[in-house]
Structure 1
Amino acid sequence: MHEDDLKEFVQAGVRADEELLWFGQPQFSRIWQREYRSRITKLFLLAAVLAVLLNIITFTFFGLSTILNIVLIVAIGGVILRFCWIYYLGRRLVYVLTSKRLVFFLESAKPIEYKSFPLDKLGEPKLARGTDGYDDVFFSDVKEVVFGISKGGYFESVLLRGKI
């Protein structure tokens, strides 16, 4: 998304009593790597592999099973939907820092508030510099991370100023 369009999009999602301090989109590959390795993705992949194996074993010894075919279709559909979600999240996620909170928006026709954290609940930020020029910012009190942003040091300094 073009920078001016992104700014308009973010302004539409910010509340009237908040001041926009910073916004940015993550690098797609960082989101993809993180979500691809997540527990839920591994669970979907394991379910699909088990459904395939169970279908093969049942077909070999007992013949075709309609119920197992349905389970197989559901398991593979779950994997496909998970990968579609990861793609959507990687392409449409926008991090927004306001004077009162850190918000994760999903870009669509209008901003969809995906996650929101008050600044006083985040805890101390910890910057992890990436070798590719994109940084990650971890927070001590929540299990969320701002992944793959350029100029992570700038984000961290703006965040610390906003908390004062």
Structure 2
Amino acid sequence: MKKRIRNLHEDDLTEFVQAAIRADEKPLWFAQPRFSHVWHQEYRSPITTFFLYGTLVMALLNVLVFILGGLSTLLGIVMVCSLGGMILRLCWIYYLGRRLVYILTTKRLVFFLESAKPIEYKSYPLNAIGTPERIKGNDGYDDVILPAIGDRLLGVSDGDAVESLIVGHQHV
């Protein structure tokens, strides 16, 4: 079982994985993604774009109303809400990038968030994943695309091993 440790110490990550999975499963592979891959993917997502443009539009409207002779309480409130949404989105991306753990077990692929206890973020049975596609990164970290479920493993150091493990255990 190959592991890459960045955010958690090796013993902590192994302990976390054992606490996170079900008793009838065995871990085949687990790792934390490279932060920069998660950041770039989530930063370019539609929801982040929505919050970013919403905040910019509200800021421009506030400036325009101020130039034309006054302040609008309603626009100020909407501006604060959109700015707050953008800040919360950036905090979520940071949290996701630092606390996400991918675990491939004998039965499923699970995305866990490390917290006081493991939080199951996403879970897919192995037979529903389909054929993975690997995108080799320039930095030595790969993204493994899972087109059948519309998801991906971002920034894994051993993408070819993950790809072969998924294919090898789908019909077991």
| TM tier relative to shorter chain | over 0.9
Instruction: Give the aligned CA root-mean-square deviation in angstroms.
Output: 0.9
Is 1:123 aligned with 2:127? no
**Which amino acid counterpart does residue 130 of structure 2 have in structure 1?**
G
- CA drift of 1:162 comes to 1.7
Deviation at 1:10, TM superposition (A): 1.1
Alignment of 1:1-164 (within 5 A): 1-164=8-171
Identify which of structures 1 and 2 has the higher relative contact order when contacts are C-alpha pairs closer than 8 Å and 6+ apart. Answer: 1
Per-residue CA deviation, residues 110-134 of structure 1 (Å, 9 max, x unaligned), is 1000000111111101111112110
* Aligned-pair CA distance for 1:62: 3.9
Per the TM alignment, residue 140 of structure 1 is displaced from its structure 2 partner at its CA by: 2.7
Where in structure 1 do 4 or more consecutive aligned residues deviate above 2 Å? none
Normalised by the length of structure 1, the TM-score is 0.97
SS in 2 for 1:159: helix
Aligned residues: 164
2:166 maps to a residue whose letter is L
Q: TM-score, normalised by structure 2?
A: 0.92
In structure 2, distance between residues paired with 1:154 and 1:134: 12
Deviations 1:70-93 (A, max 9, x none): 111111111111100000000000
Tell me, in whole angstroms, the C-alpha distance in 2 between the residues paired with 1:100 and 1:116: 10
Runs of at least 5 residues in structure 1 that lack an aligned partner in the other structure = none
Percent same amino acid at aligned positions?
57
Structure 2 stretches lacking a partner, 5+ long: 1-7
Deviation digits for residues 84-115 of structure 1 (CA, Å, limit 9, x no counterpart) = 00000000000000111100000101100000
